[in-house]
Amino acid sequence: MTATVVLVTLLLAPTASGSAAAPAACQAFTRSSATLPTLVSEWFGRSTDERVLMCPQTSAPGSEGGRPMYLGEGALTQQGAVCTYLSHGLTLAGSGSAARLQRYDRSEARAMALAGPGCPQPHDPASAQGYIETYDISTSAFVGIMRLWSAVTNTAAVNASATDASRSAAARARLQAELGARTGETTVTRIVRIPGSVLRRRYALFLKAPQPAGGASQYVIYLDKRVRGPYEVTAFAETN
């Protein structure tokens, strides 16, 4: 699959875990939830998932509401400085009493967040960044990329080294020229490794930036990482 196909597919796909909390209209269910929809309860009985996210879908004007989108999420674990869990799409099969949830493919996204004293709770409404949906990203790459992002945005999520801060000065200027005052409020929704080479790894960092009039703009930042070299921002693009 080419880099272009990978990026187009991910741009069109719904974000499974990129936002800090489930969107306001979504509902997150766990095995210990007091009340479970029949479909979710039945899925828990047939899977090892720890959570199911149910989000209504916008339908065409004049039509009935669309079927909800479902996402299954695995157990939360900590790997060094990174907390992570697997996430995958679910689809509704059958109808009436025969309706059931099933996975529509075998691919997995891996949601990641930097660990603090412990692991952040998935879909915590009090979390500013939350878990980030990742594809083909190692935990060490995630830490390096988030360190660069911290230096670029002057956030305190990671202790950026002096070297990180110095090399990201140009990237910060480019990002702030594009986003202005929204830079500090911009969140990362996805990180994707795209085809490169053994000596040069390439990544796409998907961002969501709030709009002054409401809503949000979507951007992608391209990163390069050469052997023994730093992570570097190479390009920006708006994806709206």
Same domain, 237 and 145: yes
Q: Where are the alpha helices (DSSP H) in 1-114?
A: 3-12, 38-46
d(CA 104, CA 37) in angstroms, rounded, equals 20
Same domain, 90 and 57: yes
Mean pLDDT for the stretch of residues 169-175: 69
Same domain, 155 and 77: no
| CA-CA-CA-CA torsion sign (34, 37, 43, 46) | positive
Mean pLDDT for the stretch of residues 3-16: 46
Same domain, 105 and 148: no
Least confident of 15-24, 136-145, 194-203: 15-24
Rounded to two decimals, what is the model's pTM? 0.79
Is residue 60 predicted with pLDDT exceeding 90? no
Is residue 72 predicted with pLDDT exceeding 70? yes
Query: Would you say residue 28 lies in a domain?
Result: yes
- CATH code for the domain in which residue 194 is found: 3.10.450
User: How many angstroms separate the most distant Cα atoms in the chain?
Assistant: 61
Same domain, 102 and 145: no
Same domain, 96 and 141: no
| Residue with the larger pLDDT of the pair 92 and 63 | 92
Same domain, 173 and 230: yes
Mean pLDDT for the stretch of residues 154-179: 61
Query: Would you say residue 34 lies in a domain?
Result: yes
| Residue with the larger pLDDT of the pair 101 and 180 | 101
Same domain, 115 and 140: no
Query: Would you say residue 7 lies in a domain?
Result: no
Give me the domain span that covers residue 87: 24-119
Number of independent structural domains in the chain: 2
Question: Which residue reads 């230096």 in tokens?
Answer: 151
Query: Would you say residue 152 lies in a domain?
Result: yes
Q: Where does a domain end: 93, 119, 145?
A: 119
Same domain, 81 and 155: no
Query: Would you say residue 232 lies in a domain?
Result: yes
Quick one: pLDDT at residue 15?
55
Mean pLDDT for the stretch of residues 137-150: 92
Same domain, 65 and 153: no
Quick one: pLDDT at residue 195?
86
Question: pLDDT tier at 198 (50, 70, 90 boundaries)?
Answer: confident
| Residue with the larger pLDDT of the pair 183 and 1 | 183
Across all residues in the chain, what is the average pLDDT?
Answer: 80
Q: Which H helix or E strand runs over 73?
A: strand 69-73
Span between the terminal Cα atoms of the chain, in Å: 23
Quick one: pLDDT at residue 44?
96
61-70, 110-119, 170-179, 225-234: range with highest mean pLDDT? 110-119
